[in-house]
Amino acid sequence: MDRRLARKNIRSALIATAVCVFMFGASFLAAAIYIS
């Protein structure tokens, strides 16, 4: 397996995970504001 390709895949996976966590946090925050 090409090391450069693996590094690119890891970085894109980290970015995707960060986006998912951010979206989950934003929806949780919106729900908390909506409830209060």
Determine the pLDDT at residue 1.
63
Give the CA count within 13 Å in the CB-facing half-sphere of 1: 6
pLDDT in tens, 3-28: 888 889 999 999 999 999 999 999 99
pTM score, whole prediction: 0.65
Instruction: Tell me the C-alpha distance between 31 and 36, whole Å.
Output: 9
For residues 8, 9, 15 and 18, what is the CA-based torsion angle, rounded to 10 degrees?
A: -140
pLDDT bin (cut points 50, 70, 90) of residue 2 is confident
For tokens 């450069």, the residue is 4
Average pLDDT over residues 26-33: 96
Q: Where are the domains of the chain?
A: 1-36
Determine the pLDDT at residue 23.
97
**What is the amino acid identity at position 28?**
F
